[in-house]
Chains A and B, each alone.
Chain A
Amino acid sequence: AQSVAQPEDQVNVAEGNPLTVKCTYSVSGNPYLFWYVQYPNRGLQFLLKYITGDNLVKGSYGFEAEFNKSQTSFHLKKPSALVSDSALYFCAVRLLKAAGNKLTFGGGTRVLVKP
């Protein structure tokens, strides 16, 4: 079984300040890890992924995430948040060798960036 936890329902940050959205996962094997963003009444937009290699992954729109195997975490970060980053963020995991393309998502974290 695999699961994803996003412990914060909402994160508030002032524009220009660093943004961190937390994610921890549980899988019995090596994971693929993803971050997606969702704007109101829209589908999911891909931000970044970790497959293998460097633990620090850089993605779209200035976002990055750090894979920490010992802490089973994959926190999303942005050094300087913008008001336009206000959205719903989802962390997802997939087993490296699982059949099919099933993604298991966390419950989501709403990010509010205030001017």
Chain B
Amino acid sequence: ETGVTQSPTHLIKTRGQQVTLRCSSQSGHNTVSWYQQALGQGPQFIFQYYREEENGRGNFPPRFSGLQFPNYSSELNVNALELDDSALYLCASSPTGKIEGYTFGSGTRLTVV
């Protein structure tokens, strides 16, 4: 079975720009979560999507938004980038009803300059 794949692996953006990060879920997983991991810190929950709708959100501003598609893949969009948005962004997928079954991708390293 395939795992969770994220693209791109690295990205450099300028402050004020917008960015889109992509995630393909593991086969059979229909729930996708996004996490932000700043350097030297643990991952912080951004939001989760299930059946193409957001069904949980962490303490992140509205300029962080997402989409989930019918094939369960997902996008994370960040508008008006700030320097503090520089981080590793992790996508995690899980099957419905098996809460322990998280699988994380390798992440996208975003640098905002």
Question: Residues on A close to B: CB < 8 A?
Answer: 4, 32, 34, 36, 41-46, 49, 51, 90, 92, 94, 99-108
Contact = CB atoms under 8 A, between A and B. Distances in A.
B56 A105 contact: no
B49 to A, nearest CB: 10
Contacts, number: 67
Interface of B: 4, 6, 31, 33, 35, 40-45, 48, 50, 55-56, 58, 90, 92, 94, 99-100, 102-107, 109
A42 B106 contact: yes
Mostly, the B contact residues are strand
A100 B55 contact: yes
Given A43-B6, A107-B41, 20 more contacts: A4-B42, A34-B102, A43-B106, A44-B90, A44-B104, A46-B102, A49-B100, A90-B42, A90-B43, A92-B42, A94-B99, A100-B50, A101-B48, A101-B92, A101-B99, A103-B92, A103-B102, A105-B43, A105-B44, A108-B40
